[in-house]
Structure 1
Amino acid sequence: MSRKAMVRPGGRSARVQEAVHTAVRELQAELGRPELTIPLVAARAGVTPSTIYRRWGDLQELLSDVAVEHLRPEAAPADHGTLTADLRGWAEQFLEEMASPAGRAYIRDALLGDPAGDNAGQCSAYAAEQVAVVLARAAARGEDAPDVETVLDRVVAPMMYRILFRPDGLTDAYARRLVREAVEGFGTSG
């Protein structure tokens, strides 16, 4: 288990993590990412550089940890009344956030600072949890729906590929098409 793979710490550890994450976000906004150093972050957070090195290892791992925390959804997907509408709304918002310059930077940081892939798995779990909420609502309404993996494969994976490698054409219409294709054959219409 890597240093940063610790599960949500409590007490002093949580306060240190929050102070360091806040310092990173503030310094990035003020100075830009290229100017960030562990001593600068430590001074802003009110901790010693050795605290950061001990917990995160290096600047890239710290940036990765901050990115993963930023990519965590803050709320459940909106309820629009149908599977198609819920999934469409979620997919459009996901695409807008992830395809933005800030979203791309967070994706890059999340992946670069974690060669073992734990952060990619965590980001995938965030998306799967959001999709599961949408699908559970659909089931509660009696709608037929694909499973989580199908939605990840047909909606999230193509969007992430395009965000990372072919960013042209990332529109709401693209997200709606992916959703329509993902739910076709499950008793829904779009």
Structure 2
Amino acid sequence: MSEKQSARRPGGRSARVAAQVHRAVTDLIGERGYGNFTVGDVAARAGVADSSVYRRWGNLEALLGEVALSRLNARSPMPDTGTLAGDLRTYAAQVAREITGPDGPAVLHLAVALTGTGEQGEQAGEALRTERTRQLQSVLDRAGERGEDAPEAFEVLDHVLAPMYIRVLFGMDGLTPEYIDGLVDRLLSFRTGGAGR
């Protein structure tokens, strides 16, 4: 009876099981790579029954999509430095910390792999793009309210975030503060006709 009550309570047993399963998926991706483990492997690593995983997520792809989104959609406070350049530099630095952290490369590889797994993978990719765009748009809207000439969200994705993702996906070094600031500076310089280059 107490177990049923705790399963209903937010933050109770259900939340603990989800956290254990998410951790197990992230560990297995890091160790074996995408496509090299089963629901049974995840359940064994998490210390739960296979049926618990199937009951909650339905299949492995749905679980993997949820893990990718939850890890890559970290909702860090959006920066408000008073300038567009400062906000974009700070935001880009936050994203760099997310994707280069202990689980960042593995989860980023998972997000890319999922885009080729059918409808659920496409939904995971779309949800990630939507969240990143929403985050960026809040920064860009605020810049516009201050009278600054803000780029489109997709320009920031293309010129700032995409190069960082590529470096992490291909195991390249170099997400230094100088590199990240340079991406932002080049985007803003290009928009102002190359001033400051």
TM-score by length of 2: 0.71
Unmatched 5+ residue regions in structure 2? 1-6, 32-36
What corresponds to 2:87 in structure 1? 86
CA contact (8 A) 1:104 1:164 kept: yes
What corresponds to 1:69 in structure 2? 70
The RMSD of aligned alpha carbons is 3.3
What corresponds to 1:6 in structure 2? none
**SS of corresponding position for 2:103:** helix
Q: Are residues 189 and 129 of structure 1, via their aligned partners in 2, closer, same or farther at CA, if it must alter by over 3 Å? A: farther
1:180 to 176, 185, 190: 185
CA contact (8 A) 1:84 1:189 kept: no
What corresponds to 1:103 in structure 2? 104
CA contact (8 A) 1:72 1:126 kept: yes
Q: Distance in 1 between matches of 2:138 and 2:163?
A: 20
What corresponds to 1:8 in structure 2? none
Q: Can you list the C-alpha shifts for 1:119-165, whole angstroms capped at 9, x where unaligned?
A: 22222222211111110110111111111111111111121122212
**SS of corresponding position for 2:78:** coil
CA contact (8 A) 1:146 1:186 kept: no
What percent identity do the matched residue pairs reach?
Answer: 34
Letter in 1 for 2:80: D
Q: Extract structure 1 runs of 4+ deviating beyond 6 A.
A: 14-17, 187-190
**SS of corresponding position for 2:79:** coil
1:148 to 133, 148, 153: 153
Q: Distance in 1 between matches of 2:174 and 2:160?
A: 15
What corresponds to 1:5 in structure 2? none
Give the total of aligned pairs. 174
Following superposition, the deviation at residue 53 of structure 1 comes to 2.3
**SS of corresponding position for 1:146:** coil
**SS of corresponding position for 1:144:** coil
What corresponds to 2:131 in structure 1? 126
TM-score by length of 1: 0.74
Q: Are residues 118 and 61 of structure 1, via their aligned partners in 2, closer, same or farther at CA, if it must alter by over 3 Å? A: same
